[in-house]
A and B are shown apart, each in its own frame.
Chain A
Amino acid sequence: MKARYLVPLAIFLVIVGFLAVGLKMDPKRVPSPLIGKPAPHFELSTLYDPAERITPEKLRGKVWLLNVFASWCVSCRAEHQVVSRFVQMGLAPVYGLNYKDEARDAKEWLRELGNPYEAVIVDPEGDTGIDWGVYGVPETFVIDKKGIIRDKVIGPVTEEILENRLVPLVRKLKEEQG
Chain B
Amino acid sequence: MIPEIGHLALIVALVVALVQGIFPIVGAYKGYASWVAVSKPAARLQFLLLLTSFACLTWSFLQSDFSVLYVAENSNTKLPQIFKFSAVWGAHEGSLLLWALILSAWTAAVTLFGRSLSPLMMARVLGVLGLVATGFLAFLIFTSNPFERLLPAVAEGRDLNPLLQDIGLVMHPPMLYMGYVGFAIPFAFAIAAMLGGRLDAAWARWSRPWTQAAWVFLTLGIALGSWWAYYELGWGGWWFWDPVENASFMPWLAGTALMHSLAVTEKRGAFKAWTVLLAIFTFSLSLLGTFLVRSGVLTSVHAFASDPSRGLFILLFLAVVVGSSLALYAARASKVRSHVRFELVSRETALLLNNVILVVTTVSILLGTLYPLIIDALGAGKISVGPPYFNAVFIPLTIPLAILIGVGTVARWKRDSVANIWAKVRLAFVASLVFGLVFPAVAMAHFSWKAALGMVLAFWVFFTTLRVIRDHARGRGLGGLSLSQWGMALGHIGVAVFIVGITLTSLYSLEEDVRLAPGDHYGLGGYDFHFKGTTSIQGPNYQGARGEVLITRDGEPVTVLYPEKRNYLTGMPMTEAGIDAGLTRDLFVALGEPLGEDGAWAVRIYVKPYVRWIWLGALIMALGGVCSLADKRYRVLARREREALVGGVA
Contact = CB atoms under 8 A, between A and B. Distances in A.
B591 interface: no
A130 interface: no
B329 interface: yes
Nearest to A16: B319
B322 interface: yes
Contact of B377 (A9, A25, A30): A25
A12 B323 contact: yes
Interface in B302-320: 308, 311-312, 315, 318-319
B329 A9 contact: yes
B211 interface: no
Interface in B368-383: 370, 372-374, 376-377, 382
A144 to B, nearest CB: 24
A13 B326 CA distance: 10
B346 interface: no
A172 interface: no
A20 interface: yes
B134 interface: no
Given A18-B374, A19-B291, A8 B297 contact: no
A157 to B, nearest CB: 20
B327 interface: yes
A5 interface: yes
Given A9-B323, A15-B370, A27 B330 contact: no
Nearest to A25: B376
Contact of B382 (A1, A6, A31, A74): A31
A28 B297 CA distance: 9
A18 B375 CA distance: 9
Given A5-B333, A16-B319, A25 B326 contact: no
Q: From DSSP, what is the main secondary structure of chain A's interface residues? A: helix
B297 A22 contact: yes
B361 interface: no
A167 to B, nearest CB: 24
Given A5-B329, A12-B326, A18 B284 contact: no
A5 B382 CA distance: 35
Contacts of A2: 334
Interface in A1-44: 1-2, 5-6, 8-9, 12-13, 15-16, 18-25, 27-28, 30-31
A22 B377 CA distance: 6
A5 B319 contact: no
A9 to B, nearest CB: 4
Contacts of A12: 284, 322-323, 326
Contact of B334 (A1, A15, A19, A20): A1
Contacts of A18: 370, 373-374, 377
A6 B296 CA distance: 30
Interface residues of B, number: 34
Contacts of A8: 277, 280-281, 326, 329-330
Contacts of B330: 1, 5-6, 8-9
A23 B323 contact: no
Among A8, A9, A19, A28, residue most surrounded by chain B Cβ atoms (within 10 Å): A19
Contacts of A30: 382
Given A23-B312, A23-B315, A1 B295 contact: no
A23 B284 CA distance: 18
B331 interface: yes
B372 A27 contact: yes
B81 interface: no
A121 B323 CA distance: 57
B298 interface: yes
B377 A21 contact: yes
A150 B136 CA distance: 44
B299 interface: yes
Contacts of B377: 18, 21-22, 25
A27 B298 contact: yes
Contact of B318 (A5, A16, A28): A16
A27 B284 contact: no
Contact of A28 (B281, B299, B308, B319): B299
B323 A13 contact: yes
Contact of B308 (A1, A23, A74): A23
Nearest to A13: B323
B297 A23 contact: yes
B270 to A, nearest CB: 17
Contact of B373 (A1, A13, A19): A19
A118 B540 CA distance: 44
Given A1-B330, A5-B329, A22-B377, A27 B299 contact: yes
Nearest to B331: A1
Contacts of A9: 323, 326-327, 329-330
A23 B295 CA distance: 7
A133 to B, nearest CB: 14
A9 B376 CA distance: 23
Contacts of B376: 22, 25, 27
A83 to B, nearest CB: 22
A108 to B, nearest CB: 18
Contact of A20 (B315, B326, B327, B331): B315
Given A23-B311, A31-B382, 4 more contacts: A5-B333, A19-B373, A27-B297, A27-B372
26 contacts: A5-B273, A5-B329, A5-B331, A5-B333, A5-B334, A6-B330, A9-B326, A9-B327, A9-B330, A12-B284, A12-B323, A19-B291, A19-B297, A19-B373, A21-B377, A22-B297, A22-B298, A23-B297, A23-B311, A23-B315, A24-B308, A27-B296, A27-B298, A27-B373, A27-B376, A28-B299
Nearest 8 pairs of A and B residues by beta carbon: A9-B326, A21-B377, A22-B373, A22-B297, A5-B330, A27-B299, A2-B334, A5-B333
